[in-house]
């Protein structure tokens, strides 16, 4: 026998015991537990859709910074170049001039904040910042033209060292933003 409690129907109220299940609306033939499941699935789907929409609104486009930069293992400064000390190291105020050069010559590829438009390196990453001043100076001087990093050997040494000073400030601002 069919229990009366299973036969509640929004449209028709409780079925009389003589009624046959399946003759009423479709909802009447769906047990209450299953109806709850449908409602639950609906709510979860709606919540997911809303979350995805909000994420899409607030996430910058994938090309905005180079999160997947992989260093070219073949592009390494020789030890004597890495060992060079920045002659401007005791003049951190010159980083401001380095910033000007960076915005003029580098930002179109590395972005003004150094985070890099692919394929250009994200210069705020530890794998870049862990290198010595001399190694960064060497890379800026030589370039890696096969990988689209130009050589800046034509710029005066002092300007390249100034840019290195500026690159060090990117590390600090990246940390502050974490
Ligand atoms: C035309 C685009 C472009 C410009 C302009 C450019 N870069 Fe790059 N840079 C790149 C690319 C691409 C790479 C990654 C090369 C690779 O994959 O080996 C790179 C790599 C670097 C690296 C090495 C990162 C590492 O992994 O050690 C440094 C440092 C750097 N650039 C600094 C600069 C500076 C400073 C300037 C301006 C004086 C500059 N770049 C201008 C495209 C550019």
Question: In which residue ranges of the chain is pLDDT below 50?
Answer: 3-15, 18-19, 22-25, 27-28
Fold category of 64-176 in CATH: Cytochrome Bc1 Complex; Chain D, domain 2 (1.10.760)
Whole-number Å distance, alpha carbon 138 to ligand 1 midpoint, is 11
Give the closest residue (by CA) to ligand 1 atom 41: 106
Q: Which pLDDT value is given to residue 47?
A: 77
pLDDT of residue 4: 47
For 111-142, letters b (16+ CB in 10 Å) and e give beebbbeeebbbbbbeebbebbbbbbbbbbbb
The CB of 135 under 6 Å from ligand 1? The reply is no
CB of residue 147 inside a 6 A radius of ligand 1: yes
Token pair listed for 35: 């109806």
CB of 136 within 6 A of ligand 1: the answer is: yes
> Given this model, what pLDDT does residue 59 score?
56
**Three-class secondary structure of residue 171 per DSSP:** helix
Q: Is 92 in the pocket of ligand 1 (CB under 6 A)?
A: no
What was the pLDDT predicted at 20? 54
Which residue puts its alpha carbon closest to atom 11 of ligand 1? 120
User: Which DSSP category does 14 fall into?
Assistant: S
For the chain, count helices (H), then strands (E): 7, 0
For ligand 1, say whether the CB of 31 is within 6 Å of any of its atoms: no
pLDDT at 54: 60
């Amino acid at each position: 026998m069919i229990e009366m409690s299973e036969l509640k129907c929004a449209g028709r109220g409780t079925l009389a015991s003589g009624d046959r299940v399946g003759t009423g609306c479709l909802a009447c033939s769906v047990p209450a537990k299953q109806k709850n499941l449908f409602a639950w699935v609906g709510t979860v789907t709606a919540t997911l859709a809303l979350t995805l929409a909000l994420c899409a609104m607030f996430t910058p486009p994938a090309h905005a910074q180079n999160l997947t930069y992989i260093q070219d293992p073949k592009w390494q400064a020789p030890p004597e170049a890495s060992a060079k000390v920045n002659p401007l190291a005791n003049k951190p105020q010159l980083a401001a001039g380095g910033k000007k050069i960076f915005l003029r010559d580098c930002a179109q590829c590395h972005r003004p904040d150094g985070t890099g438009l692919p394929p250009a390196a994200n210069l705020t990453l530890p794998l870049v910042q862990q290198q010595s001043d001399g190694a960064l100076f060497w890379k800026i001087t030589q370039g890696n033209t096969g990988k689209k990093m130009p050589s800046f050997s034509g710029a005066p040494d002092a300007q390249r060292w100034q840019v290195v000073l500026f690159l060090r400030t990117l590390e600090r601002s990246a940390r502050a933003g974490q």
